[in-house]
Amino acid sequence: MAQNYGNELGLLCTIISGMEARSKPARDITQQHLGTAHMVLAHPVGEGLILLNRSAADAFDKLSEALVMRSPGMERGATFKSVRSELLDLLANYVAADPGSVNADTVATLHTHLEQWFSQRAASRQIFIPCAISPWEAPRFSIGSIQFIFGDHVARSEV
């Protein structure tokens, strides 16, 4: 099913328009340097970095959120910081690109990349939460996906 990426496309065009590359090492960038360059966000890429101006940074935040919202697993299982970093790495490929050269397929490619990136890092987890339901030994039981195991049985279980 094709998705409508119209809003995201507009945000991507704004980002590309307000993004530039610098060869300075990230350690040399200060808030004062960003302010002088009329930039608000810096992200290291390779030996240099990419800088975003205020409108590009605002659009970047909205694009990040929109793409994450399209993937419920990513929304629940990834930190916003890690998604932003991966997306900024991708956007570095569009520095100095003509905003008119991107289209909905470009946004779909970004979204697909993020989903694949997330699926490579996602893993099922089993979480143990000690609780006292009964002081007496009881057989294992489940409620939905939650399993209850008597405390003394945990050491002998497959867990």
Q: Is 151 part of a structural domain of the chain?
A: no
Domain total of the chain = 1
Q: Is residue 139 part of a domain?
A: no
Average pLDDT over residues 70-89: 87
Residue 158 lies in a domain: no
Identify the domain containing residue 42 by its residue range.
6-121
d(Cα 91, Cα 82) in Å, to the nearest integer? 14
In a domain, residue 128? The reply is no
Is residue 23 in a domain? yes
Please give the sequence-ordered ranges of beta strands (E in DSSP) within 68-137, or none if there are none: none
Q: Return mean pLDDT, the chain.
A: 85
Least confident of 67-71, 88-92, 95-99, 147-151: 147-151
Identify whether 144 is part of a domain.
Answer: no
Top pLDDT among 83 and 74 is at 83
76 is written with which tokens? 């629940």
Does 141 reside within a domain? no
Bridge partner list, 20: 51
Domain presence at residue 154: no
Indicate yes or no: pTM above 0.85.
Answer: no
Specify the residue for token string 């909205």.
62
Can you list the alpha helix ranges (DSSP code H) found in the chain? 6-17, 31-36, 54-69, 72-77, 80-91, 104-121, 151-154
